[in-house]
Structure 1
């Protein structure tokens, strides 16, 4: 739906020019003044300043052969993804400086850019990167030696994804702070990459793009914007992943089973390229993707994915069961896509989704007092989240996390050539320097349902002030200098106030909200309570919050506490007409629901919680509870018997188990992931308690022991039993051991689905 402008009766009507292209304000022009977003920004700044730039720079200095000034960080920064946080840190420093003017962030940014420039000069060919053995790796790619899968390219962990963070960080350093040296390093890096892929055929480039590569096509489109050199725009199109683009062009949903965050940045790139080339079909593909993900694959708080992958749109049961719910990186990128489409299409529905996700997922993904970022946000009832720590945690969601809370001012306001748009109700000030207009917004939303806008201008001037009438708002009212104005129209539009504004003019916006039950997109009987745009949840307990603040282990971002039975969760039973009536309103968006207290989800921390509730008639509840209890008991018995597990073909489980392989591919068939090989694959299994006695291997095809070799630490494994699609091996008593699966005679192995190290 395109932006609708509803006119309030003033002598001067809004002209058609207000429908001109929407433009964002620079972060420097918008300042947060109070409220939960300002707090989140302040807490993020403390976390950022607790990080050591020299540790983040170490991978780049090591690769360039320069002496390091501090040892590199551990965790993901020293296990294959070395350097990726450094790129994110540049972006975060740049945006935090633009948003706050904090001098230390600018000092650190300038220092890091200078050090990166020295690395680039030492390399001598424009390259700078922190990827382990980067020069050897890139030389293989340049020569066309390519063996890639979804996250491993020549047995290197997502190298293009890694270097994309540096491309984006250098771009942001120049865009937000004007650091000219950052632009020089960026252009040199871009030229190196153009030369790197010059010998490759389009087929070889598409083979490289099978591996996660972030939004590298977008950054080359940005290089074109900065330099007007067409070779960068041509490169942006050349490194756009056709396997994702072509189904979207055809309006075909081929997303189920794909690694979710791998795809979203590609689509941001498609949209950016479309705005530069006039490829309207690419923009329509981006719109189709956004519609699919935001409306059919996202839960109430705006997040999507289970175990990092898109689940079927018709079945969210995996999301409900898993402790690995929607990933914060996904929402970080969906906000970027929503913003891009809003500015391009002038469609207010993109702001509706943006607001929902920003309040409920992004704001909730940082601890509001201690700091620390969340990777997975489970919707499983009675589960919890894990928070990062500056010295231990170097996950992807830490990189995007330090960026998330720097830029809350980016879409509170926007403008066309002559007119101003208020998109979000967040306490802030806007300095519209081009018009010499200052706007102050005072609001306690969402705890109070009104906002006050005060105009300051050097001289009276005429423009239209357009106020978003949100989809969730009821009884919307506007007063100008205390006088009520006639309002007509419907939600999901703008109300335009036309007048000659003078200093001191005050606009008051008032509305009401109500609480509703919002079901999951699959139509199941699970629903969340939502008030206005705010998702409500209940703290259920503070027991067994194992690993609440992450250690430095490879899988520290996952919860370690036990899963409580879903059948024990609170359910809404009886006549559906009574469900909402059970809520007893308190103060500050708190509601009583029998023994539970519902409150904004972003307030819920350091606790297990319930966000989704099952709804039943009484008869259906009794029957289903009995059946679910049996299913739950069987599932939990399997987990109790499991010491370690690998879901083959899923990105993070394979990364966490140090996957290596050659001539291997992976896929998703019949709602199951798999991996096979014509050479070998290896996984590193953890048996720290030495309780694991057997390795159970499941495949989607029949396993023939005479066609596949199984080795443990290089020695042939003892086969205990083999039947159909399963095989059991005897485990070693080593705390850590390597399982190798090798094809005999170059024949493809079965599609392996899961490995479990079990006690019995």
Structure 2
């Protein structure tokens, strides 16, 4: 309960622990305008990137599928190799949210044009369907008839079709909700009704079989259709297309995430949470909270990201994350922020904001080049590696789609409101116009470079509106002043301080606090740690050499930083007694710290460079032993990579897509050591690139013993010339071709051994 007083200018400050979920609401993006700082700059840079894209090129896949003539050729990259049309859905969302945030008329013009063109494609198709999926009509007809052969990312040998079409569902929803485009609502309803008819003949078991393949948050968008129409069939469909293989363990509070493709799972959970709010199902909401808690507390690195090579690593072992050039994926954080926002509005627990703020500053803000534009896919934590940035004409990755959206909506949770007042959640320079209350709040701040923010009020008339200021978990010496007069602060961090007062125009609230710098260790309990000041993760630029592919070309894996891997044993380490590590930092300016020869600064400021974000902490004796061991391990690993011309990790999504995976009656998974695999009762095949014809051998590793009587291997349709096959390793002579198609067939119809990796090497 909030304490009140009859005295007009008396102020009470207390911590609010909870507010009814049904009452906490975010403000519309139209109500909050950014006024400066790095977030406003990121919004402006994203605006230019959005305008650099051609709507007719993005619409081309939809026109192809509808049989309409092209107005422009489609984009290349992922938009021409199976995921055709997915950026178009993201683009609708980005246009709608950026228009809401800025009011720029060109954005509305483009949005209305795209929706009208999609409506035309829908009319041409004649059944409510509209999509850019290659051979979409044939594909969906097979599904309608129950002809289903799916894996984690391939459904009937089509690349994540439900994930693809989910982007259009979400884009149409956003076009209506954020920009008021009524035609988008009608196209969305038509598309939803088509989908309900599509799956009507399927049993629940068949639906779950379809859902094995990555499908984004399609359950969430059907929950949204229910909100828009109040028709129960949409909510029933949302429940029916919720993936039980993920949901059931979460309902039992079981963490079964290790080895799963991370971004496949997060959108499903957003759907579980939304369905829970609509049905009152506490179990589903508890499952979403358990997932969030598990990912944020045991599976995330300091900047909020998670995963290695797109998959959840074991929470007890982050070694693969430290070694890989494919670190946490930006799409994951995009979706974790959406889940955090949903849970915050549901539970009104500011603890969700601690993660939201950390990830917003350190992963999302850092994932766009602040001057040249371009979005980051992987953010490695490997010492002395770097990131790659997309370009409008060459890059059509999933993290481009979510990246277009990320920087449009920074205003979504700076403030929120409830019947018991206004909540200030983030310290970002902005103006809030709360027309319902006749109130304007101007927030002026240089945070995180200065630990202070000021709120200036403007009202149509004096009124009592309780004002709640977030007291962050990381804040020390928290002070609040009203019109220059200090107020007593009661309570602890990770809550709200409430000001209950009748406000008038010109009133000013000043908030001051302190931050401290500390080491934050990886969740696995290892001796790798990052420096964090308040919510800001610090890192050091280490080199600008060999930044191969810094701005991506249109190659299939252009989003991966393929420059030389610097040996981990050469990385800077913190050597000494544990209590001395923090003391080594010497402040030299605004969020600048000298660490011996290194300069630490906010990670989001570091671009066009290699960096070190995590540091190993060692005693002097452990340092010498570790250095020798790591040197040998690194030398062996780097030598093997130097001999590798191409490789595919069987059972991992991106490597398989990159190598033109095809298969039937196939299963995939991972073993207790976190190694991925794939087997088949029919066939599987991959296409490896033999650049400059350097590869002379194919080295195939299995998790089971190779038995020639059960497996047939072909290279470019010819029986493989097997040089050796000892235990779980097969060596095959290469045929000298520039492209090697490796096909593995089950001879008897029984499952083959589990294949782990196929590596093309030069010997």
Tell me the TM-score range normalised by the shorter chain. Answer: over 0.9
The 5 A counterparts of 1:176-191 are 176-191=178-193
Q: Distance in 2 between matches of 1:561 and 1:448?
A: 37
Q: Distance in 2 between matches of 1:230 and 1:358?
A: 35
Q: CA deviation at 1:576?
A: 1.5
1:619 corresponds to which residue? 621
Query: Using a 3 Å threshold, how does the CA distance of structure 1 residues 539 and 225 change in structure 2: closer, same or farther?
Result: same
Asked whether the equivalents of residues 59 and 82 of structure 1 are also in contact (C-alpha less than 8 Å), the reply is yes
Q: Deviations over 1:260-284 (max 9, x none)?
A: 0000000000000000001100000
Asked whether the equivalents of residues 18 and 347 of structure 2 are also in contact (C-alpha less than 8 Å), the reply is no
Q: Distance in 2 between matches of 1:255 and 1:205?
A: 21
Q: Distance in 1 between matches of 2:482 and 2:747?
A: 79
2:375 corresponds to which residue? 373
1:249 corresponds to which residue? 251
Q: CA deviation at 1:13?
A: 6.0
Q: Distance in 1 between matches of 2:655 and 2:645?
A: 14
Q: Does 1:19 align with 2:58?
A: no
The 5 A counterparts of 1:262-661 are 262-661=264-663
Asked whether the equivalents of residues 18 and 416 of structure 1 are also in contact (C-alpha less than 8 Å), the reply is no
Which 4+ residue blocks in structure 1 deviate beyond 3 angstroms? 4-18
Q: Does 1:129 align with 2:131?
A: yes
Q: CA deviation at 1:11?
A: 4.0
Q: Distance in 1 between matches of 2:11 and 2:509?
A: 17
What secondary structure sits across from 1:377 in the alignment? Answer: coil
Asked whether the equivalents of residues 83 and 130 of structure 1 are also in contact (C-alpha less than 8 Å), the reply is yes
Q: Distance in 2 between matches of 1:221 and 1:41?
A: 29
Query: Using a 3 Å threshold, how does the CA distance of structure 1 residues 486 and 689 change in structure 2: closer, same or farther?
Result: same
Q: CA deviation at 1:699?
A: 0.6
Q: Distance in 1 between matches of 2:224 and 2:413?
A: 20
Q: CA deviation at 1:7?
A: 9.5
Q: Does 1:220 align with 2:222?
A: yes
Q: Distance in 2 between matches of 1:383 and 1:552?
A: 21
Structure 1 alignment gaps of length 5 or more: none
What secondary structure sits across from 2:450 in the alignment? Answer: coil
Query: Using a 3 Å threshold, how does the CA distance of structure 1 residues 623 and 249 change in structure 2: closer, same or farther?
Result: same
1:690 corresponds to which residue? 693
Q: CA deviation at 1:707?
A: 1.7
Q: Distance in 2 between matches of 1:657 and 1:54?
A: 29
Q: Distance in 2 between matches of 1:331 and 1:7?
A: 40
Query: Using a 3 Å threshold, how does the CA distance of structure 1 residues 413 and 6 change in structure 2: closer, same or farther?
Result: farther
Asked whether the equivalents of residues 650 and 678 of structure 2 are also in contact (C-alpha less than 8 Å), the reply is yes
Q: Deviations over 1:514-545 (max 9, x none)?
A: 11000000010000000000000000000100
What secondary structure sits across from 1:546 in the alignment? Answer: coil
Asked whether the equivalents of residues 692 and 758 of structure 1 are also in contact (C-alpha less than 8 Å), the reply is yes
1:743 corresponds to which residue? 746
Q: CA deviation at 1:19?
A: 2.8
Q: Deviations over 1:722-742 (max 9, x none)?
A: 011110111122222211111
Q: Distance in 2 between matches of 1:588 and 1:80?
A: 47
Q: Does 1:753 align with 2:748?
A: no
What secondary structure sits across from 2:411 in the alignment? Answer: helix
What secondary structure sits across from 1:704 in the alignment? Answer: coil
Query: Using a 3 Å threshold, how does the CA distance of structure 1 residues 222 and 65 change in structure 2: closer, same or farther?
Result: same
2:723 corresponds to which residue? 720
Q: CA deviation at 1:582?
A: 1.2
1:699 to 684, 697, 702: 702
What secondary structure sits across from 1:697 in the alignment? Answer: strand
Q: CA deviation at 1:18?
A: 8.6
Asked whether the equivalents of residues 90 and 109 of structure 1 are also in contact (C-alpha less than 8 Å), the reply is yes
Q: Distance in 2 between matches of 1:241 and 1:263?
A: 9
Q: CA deviation at 1:17?
A: 13
Asked whether the equivalents of residues 684 and 737 of structure 1 are also in contact (C-alpha less than 8 Å), the reply is yes
Q: Deviations over 1:597-653 (max 9, x none)?
A: 000000000000000000000111111111111111111111111111101000000
Q: Distance in 2 between matches of 1:468 and 1:735?
A: 60
2:165 to 159, 163, 166: 163
The 5 A counterparts of 1:194-213 are 194-213=196-215
2:85 corresponds to which residue? 83
Compute the TM-score of the two structures, normalised by the length of structure 1: 0.98
The 5 A counterparts of 1:1-20 are 11=10, 19-20=19-20
Query: Using a 3 Å threshold, how does the CA distance of structure 1 residues 452 and 13 change in structure 2: closer, same or farther?
Result: closer
Q: Distance in 1 between matches of 2:405 and 2:527?
A: 36
Q: Distance in 1 between matches of 2:735 and 2:193?
A: 50
Q: Deviations over 1:244-269 (max 9, x none)?
A: 00000000010000000000000000
Q: Distance in 2 between matches of 1:177 and 1:525?
A: 49
Q: Distance in 1 between matches of 2:309 and 2:138?
A: 32
What secondary structure sits across from 1:245 in the alignment? Answer: helix
Query: Using a 3 Å threshold, how does the CA distance of structure 1 residues 607 and 17 change in structure 2: closer, same or farther?
Result: closer
Asked whether the equivalents of residues 6 and 488 of structure 1 are also in contact (C-alpha less than 8 Å), the reply is no
1:48 corresponds to which residue? 50
What secondary structure sits across from 2:108 in the alignment? Answer: helix
What secondary structure sits across from 1:248 in the alignment? Answer: helix
Q: Distance in 2 between matches of 1:253 and 1:689?
A: 45
Q: Distance in 1 between matches of 2:269 and 2:407?
A: 23
Asked whether the equivalents of residues 385 and 611 of structure 2 are also in contact (C-alpha less than 8 Å), the reply is yes
1:662 corresponds to which residue? 664
Q: Distance in 1 between matches of 2:343 and 2:3?
A: 22
Q: Distance in 1 between matches of 2:4 and 2:555?
A: 57
Asked whether the equivalents of residues 18 and 349 of structure 2 are also in contact (C-alpha less than 8 Å), the reply is no
Q: Distance in 2 between matches of 1:463 and 1:614?
A: 50
Query: Using a 3 Å threshold, how does the CA distance of structure 1 residues 692 and 625 change in structure 2: closer, same or farther?
Result: same
Query: Using a 3 Å threshold, how does the CA distance of structure 1 residues 17 and 533 change in structure 2: closer, same or farther?
Result: closer
Asked whether the equivalents of residues 88 and 400 of structure 1 are also in contact (C-alpha less than 8 Å), the reply is yes
Q: Distance in 2 between matches of 1:55 and 1:635?
A: 42
Q: CA deviation at 1:46?
A: 0.4
What secondary structure sits across from 2:365 in the alignment? Answer: helix
Q: Distance in 2 between matches of 1:487 and 1:426?
A: 22
Q: CA deviation at 1:706?
A: 2.6
Structure 2 alignment gaps of length 5 or more: none
Asked whether the equivalents of residues 247 and 253 of structure 1 are also in contact (C-alpha less than 8 Å), the reply is yes
Compute the TM-score of the two structures, normalised by the length of structure 2: 0.98
Asked whether the equivalents of residues 18 and 418 of structure 1 are also in contact (C-alpha less than 8 Å), the reply is no
2:683 corresponds to which residue? 680
Asked whether the equivalents of residues 5 and 494 of structure 1 are also in contact (C-alpha less than 8 Å), the reply is no
Asked whether the equivalents of residues 552 and 558 of structure 2 are also in contact (C-alpha less than 8 Å), the reply is yes
What secondary structure sits across from 1:496 in the alignment? Answer: strand
What secondary structure sits across from 1:434 in the alignment? Answer: helix
Asked whether the equivalents of residues 303 and 361 of structure 1 are also in contact (C-alpha less than 8 Å), the reply is yes
Asked whether the equivalents of residues 7 and 497 of structure 1 are also in contact (C-alpha less than 8 Å), the reply is no
